[in-house]
Amino acid sequence: MPAEKPKVAFITGAGRGIGRGIALVLAEKGFRIVVNDMQASADLDETLALLAARGAEAKAVVGDIAAIDHHQDLIETAWAEFGRIDCLVNNAGVSVATRGDILDVTSQSFDRLITINLRGPFFLTQACARRMVATPTAGFRSIITISSMNAEAASPDRAEYCISKTGLSMMTKLFALRLAGEGIHTYEIRPGVIRTAMTAVAKDKYDRIFADNGAPLSRWGEPEDVGRAVATLASGAFPYSTGEVVHVDGGLSLPTL
C-alpha cells in the first residue's frame, strides 16, 4: 500500500505575523503549505524563503479574501497546487485603523472590519467546505479559524474589531454542526497579545501589563505559539472534538477574583 502523502494546509494572510508563524510550524510538522496574501510582496516572498529553508514544499496563491466573487477561483487554485486541501486556516484579518471612543466609530470603519474579518472568512470557508465535501477522503480534515481573545474580552477602543471576532466564534460553531457528518472538524483559536505588526502600535501598553505580571504567563506571545496550537489540531490529535475554542493567550482570559 502506498504511503499517504503529507497533508496540505492552506493559510490565509501568511505573508507575515501569525500567518507566517502558523506556516512555519505546520511545515516543521511535515505539512505541504499553500500560503496566501492579498497581493505579491516581499513579505510573502520571505515566507516562502523561510519555508524553503526548512525543506518544505510550499506554494503561494495571491488573492483578497474580502473579494468573495473570486473565492471559488482562489480555492480551486490553492487546491490544484497539491491536489487537495486537508486544512484551511482562516488567519487573514485587520485591526481598526485608529483606536478610539466607541461613540466615534464610523460606518466605514465598521464595514471594513466586518467585510475583511468576518464576511470574507465566512464565504471562503463555505467555498472550501463545498470543495472538501465534494471530494471525500478518509484522512483527517479541518478548518481552523484564528479569532482573538476579543471574541469574549471587550475593548471599547476597537469595538468593530471585537464584533467581527465574536462573529468568527459563532461561525466556527455553525460550520462544526454542518460539517461533522462530512468528517471535517472545525476549531477556533483565540490568540492573546501576540508580537506582530498589528500589536506593535500598543507595545508600551502591553509591556507595562507584562512588567506588572498582568497575566499568568506574563510575556508576549509569539506567532509560533499560535502555530503550535494549529499544528496540534490539524494533525488530528483531537479526533473526538469539533467546534471547540483553544486559548493561546498566556492565561490572560482566565476569570480572576
Question: What was the pLDDT predicted at 20?
Answer: 98
Residue 3 belongs to some domain of the structure: no
Structural domain contains residue 223? yes
User: What are the pLDDT tens digits along the chain (257 aa)?
Assistant: 456 789 999 999 999 999 999 999 999 999 999 999 999 999 999 999 999 999 999 999 999 999 999 999 999 999 999 999 999 999 999 999 999 999 999 999 999 999 999 999 999 999 999 999 999 999 999 999 999 999 999 999 999 999 999 999 999 999 999 999 999 999 999 999 999 988 888 899 889 989 999 889 999 999 999 999 999 999 999 999 999 999 999 999 998 87
Boundaries of domain holding 179: 8-248
For residue 256, tell me if it sits in a domain.
no
Inside any domain, residue 257: no
In-domain check, residue 2: no
253 within a domain of the structure (yes/no): no
Q: Model pTM?
A: 0.96
Total number of domains constituting the chain? 1
* Residues catalogued as catalytic: 161
Would residue 21 count as lying in a domain?
A: yes
pLDDT at 1: 44
Q: Is residue 1 part of a domain?
A: no
Name 106's Cβ contacts closer than 8 Å, sequence gap at least 6.
Answer: none
The predicted pLDDT at position 3 comes to 60
What does the alpha-carbon distance between residue 72 and residue 69 come to, in Å, rounded to a whole number?
A: 7
Say what the pLDDT of residue 179 is.
98
- Domain at 212, CATH number: 3.40.50.720
